[in-house]
Amino acid sequence: MDTAYLIETIIKVVVILLIFSALAGIGTYFERKVLAFMQRRLGPMYVGPYGLLQVAADGIKLFTKEDIIPTNVVGPIFKIAPVITAATAFMAAAAIPFFPQFTVFGYTVHPIVADLNIGILYILGVMAVGLYGPLLGGMASANKFSLLSAARTAAVFISYEVVSGLAILAPIMMVGSLSLIDFNNYQAGGISDWIVWSQPVAFVLFWIAAFAETGRTPFHLIANDHEIIDGFGTEYSGMRWGLFFIGEYANMFFISFVIPLIFLGGYGDGSMLGALGLIAKVAFFFFFFLWTRAAWPDVRPDQLMWLCWKVLMPLAVINVVITGFVMMF
């Protein structure tokens, strides 16, 4: 391991961390605006032009708020829980190729922190660890609503994991690799090569599981404000709560990268156009997260488990079996 590689990796880590922390903030701005427009409102308008500096105002507020540890909470777990959510979200980003490789001053940059040969497994696994944040935070909070939220987190946890894992198994069988770069190269031939055409069921299943994974609206039951206050976030304030928030939005962005990389051709052949195409796809998937929040109702925890175990998992298994037969013969 030479020094250049080390420096390059550190720079990449810092850049990803900075960009996606900022994006998480700007994501909240987009979410407010999009939701507002869909509900015939204006959204934030006061801080800065068209409310653009609202993100900065919220950031200042979160950073300068008092860090309150309530009396009866389990201190260490309560303190570490938001860090788990935020840290795992960013750790998952290590195996995501955000761009095709490009050359700067004769130096070839691979915009991926670590091209693991088990990339997808790593991403799904680490993202799933992020759910320990709500789980531990909710259980340590000494608050009934937080406890309900923790129980729901466990329910979500055991439900969607099966679906996302089995759904992604079929594309993995086709590509024969777990690295996202291999996935991308498999589909580099153009739109007709996209895995979504041969694996539409897996695509839809993984997309649905992504909603459960990020806890977005149809499956927003972990922190449903109108049922259980803010769930695991009830006792949190200031930057600890902000870390939960950053983790959630960073997760949304990363899963919006993963879905196109696996199913929709990623950055294609590695040209500038392909890179812009990937950004467009990510933007669409992120927008879709906001879109569904404006349009769809939330499901109950039992409905989520019913959906995942009785509908989606059998479909995923059938999909895997059919894919296997098709590949065998």
Pick the binder of other proteins from 3, 39, 64, 108 (CB under 8 A).
39
Q: Is residue 41 a contact residue for other proteins (CB under 8 A)?
A: yes
Q: Is residue 200 a contact residue for other proteins (CB under 8 A)?
A: no
What's the min distance (Å) between Cβ of 294 and other proteins? 4
| Alpha-carbon distances, residue 207 vs 102, 149, 158, 255 (angstroms) | 29, 23, 17, 9
What's the min distance (Å) between Cβ of 57 and other proteins? 17
Pick the binder of other proteins from 13, 23, 45, 305 (CB under 8 A).
45
In the bound state with other proteins, the residue whose beta carbon lies nearer, of 12 and 33, is 33
In the bound state with other proteins, the residue whose beta carbon lies nearer, of 51 and 133, is 51
- Which range in 37-45, 77-85, 114-122, 144-152 contacts other proteins by CB under 8 A? 37-45
- Which range in 13-21, 156-164, 286-294, 319-327 contacts other proteins by CB under 8 A? 286-294
Say how far apart CA 238 and CA 227 lie, in whole Å.
22
Pick the binder of other proteins from 6, 14, 26, 37 (CB under 8 A).
37
In the bound state with other proteins, the residue whose beta carbon lies nearer, of 178 and 205, is 205
What's the min distance (Å) between Cβ of 290 and other proteins? 10
In the bound state with other proteins, the residue whose beta carbon lies nearer, of 95 and 304, is 304
In the bound state with other proteins, the residue whose beta carbon lies nearer, of 99 and 296, is 296
3-state secondary structure the chain: CCHHHHHHHHHHHHHHHHHHHHHHHHHHHHHHHHHHHHCCCCCCCCCCHHHCCHHHHHHHHHHHCCCCCCCCCCHHHHHHHHHHHHHHHHHHHHHCCCCCCEEECCEEECCCCCCCCCHHHHHHHHHHHCCHHHHHHHHHCCCHHHHHHHHHHHHHHHHHHHHHHHHHHHHHHHHCCCCHHHHHHHCCCCHHHCHHHHCHHHHHHHHHHHHHHHCCHHHCCCCCHHHHCCHHHCCCCHHHHHHHHHHHHHHHHHHHHHHHHHHCCCCCCCCHHHHHHHHHHHHHHHHHHHHHHHHCCCCCHHHHHHHHHHHHHHHHHHHHHHHHHHHHC
Pick the binder of other proteins from 7, 19, 38, 191 (CB under 8 A).
38
**Bridge partner list, 107:** 104
What's the min distance (Å) between Cβ of 42 and other proteins? 4
CB atoms within 10 A of CB 120: 25
In the bound state with other proteins, the residue whose beta carbon lies nearer, of 41 and 300, is 41
What's the min distance (Å) between Cβ of 37 and other proteins? 5
In the bound state with other proteins, the residue whose beta carbon lies nearer, of 23 and 299, is 299
Q: Which of 294, 261, 293, 252 is nearest to 279 (CA)?
A: 261
CB atoms within 10 A of CB 257: 25
Which positions from 289 to 308 touch other proteins by CB under 8 A, shown as an x/- string?
--xx-xxx------------
The residues in 104-163 that bind other proteins, with binding defined as CB under 8 A, are: none
What's the min distance (Å) between Cβ of 38 and other proteins? 4
The residues in 5-34 that bind other proteins, with binding defined as CB under 8 A, are: 34
What's the min distance (Å) between Cβ of 198 and other proteins? 21
The residues in 52-81 that bind other proteins, with binding defined as CB under 8 A, are: none
**Bridge partner list, 104:** 107
Interacting residue ranges for other proteins, rule: CB under 8 A:
34, 36-42, 45, 291-292, 294-296, 311
